[in-house]
Chains A and B, each alone.
Chain A
Amino acid sequence: MSWVPNKQFVLWSLVSFSLITLSLPTIIIIGASFTAGDIIQFPPEGFSLRWYERLWHLEDFRQALLRTFIVSIICTLVALPVGTLAALATVRYRIRFQQTIQVYLLLPFTIPLVVSGIAMMIFFGEIRILGSLWPVGVALCLINLPFMIWSVTATVNGLDPELENAAYSCGAWPVQTFFSVTLPAVMPGVITGALLMFILAFNEFLVSLFLTDARTVTLPVQIYNSIRSVITPDLAAVSVLYIVIALLAIWLLDKTVGLEIFLKSK
């Protein structure tokens, strides 16, 4: 029999490469944000918090951060009812053209972001709502909606319809059944979806690029514009903010539904 490389060795070499590639930018950004020098170099020139302090005084970035929060919250608030109801409808209710509707609801994924972004820019421009923050939130919700529907659908599939029927036969009205049986049962999916929507909106760059202007610019667009000029350590400090929020979201996801949920097969 011919020579066969060790399975664990081959697999772990590839996985280690992935692990390093995935984590390296994060680690380097964190390191760079604490440098005392004016440029980012290795080994870093001493430890200081001066870039964080400087950041706090940069009005532009603070405003952009605040706007990003507002936009992400709008996105999540819109996605919660819209996505949850849509997921319930596609799984639990008999609807004509089910297949067509599912394909239609996947349009935000299949249409390239650059096209969606410009398409919404044109439409919002025509109806004259460009320049305010809420259309940006709605747009970010629209392009990520399939994520919300996905995560809720996963839990709706696991919900036994007999539970709702039991509530009805015990004399519960529809609204009561919805809030005391259906909603609690699909809650893990709703929480996962809401978290994903918030994080994705917080990060979304391309669509925001088209829908914001100098007065409504959000943080990812602001970072992008700054990258194009000079790379200074204050950008690293901003990016650490993203890393902290990402860690927080992972922690929350792990506490509420458990990260292992993503390992289950359907």
Chain B
Amino acid sequence: MTATEPKPAVQGSEAQGTRTLTLIQAVTEALREELARDERVVVFGQDVGARGGVFLATAGLQAEFGERRVFDTPLSEASIVGAAVGMAVRGLRPVAEVQFADYMGPGFDQIVSQAAKIRYRSGGQFTAPLVIRTPSGGGVKGGHHHSQSPEAYYAHTPGLKVVMPSTPYDAKGLLKAAIRGHDPVIYFEPKRLYRAAKGEVPAHDYTVELGRGAVRREGRDLTLIGYGGVMPDVEKAAAALSKEGVEAEVIDLRSLVPWDRDLVLTSVEKTGRAVLVSEAPRTANFMGEVAYVIQEELFDALLAPVSQVAGFDTPYPYVQDKVYLPGANRIAAACVKVLNY
């Protein structure tokens, strides 16, 4: 048996409307469609087979595609991630699941030394187009081994692409684009939105380009920028501000590497104010890079210093779960401070 070239994707003309899906259903659907489209795609990780993953992201896929395409692995992040590198080098399109982003530690060297570097160090002779899916972020009473947001580690590594959706539409479109792309992608799934985020998802095939942000709400007074699990609170804060007559423009970055600088800069140039929101610890937070670029490019256009709302520089706490996260009130307060500067 040999893997064949992928079938052409179903085009928009064959669209059958949209359905309402949860974010995790959108992930499952993306995996199912890519498994069906391209025989080189394999899905694996700890408990992803019969069990369907601890969050059931891969539920039903092994029954549908068999143990050859969807399979369980030993409990070893180094070997899950490392094997994905070898499979990708040999011509497959591996989609590996690491059960929690907090557990990526043992696979870290495989990600940063192997997956991220092999194209570069071999002069393009070998490449590793793989996807590592992993639930990340807090809000589920998981303590610090099930709630961390380690995206900055990976965004800091040249050679990796880093993605975090916040809507079912993006979750499906970004995952499909990641699987079809030619670079290693770390695909963070905000676990508290798995079932909380519901939305319209087209029935036809589509992708969301990596590196493009999305404007969730238009506004003139300030720009609110976030990604992943904080987005519902960002939008809640914007709605509350609107009742006070303040119109915030809301941007969802969707991709951290590469990130949509044009979208961000165009918006902040228009509004003159920026508040950056993420739940990762504040020091060396990815949003620090966004803030840096804004001040470098738009210093004269800024009406107030760029503000950041982030997690605290503590290990993620268990009991204080909700206090740790930057909720709508904290976000709105930061906006008010910026507006009153």
Do chains A and B interact in one complex?
no
Q: Hey, which bits of chain A sit against chain B, CB under 8 A?
A: none
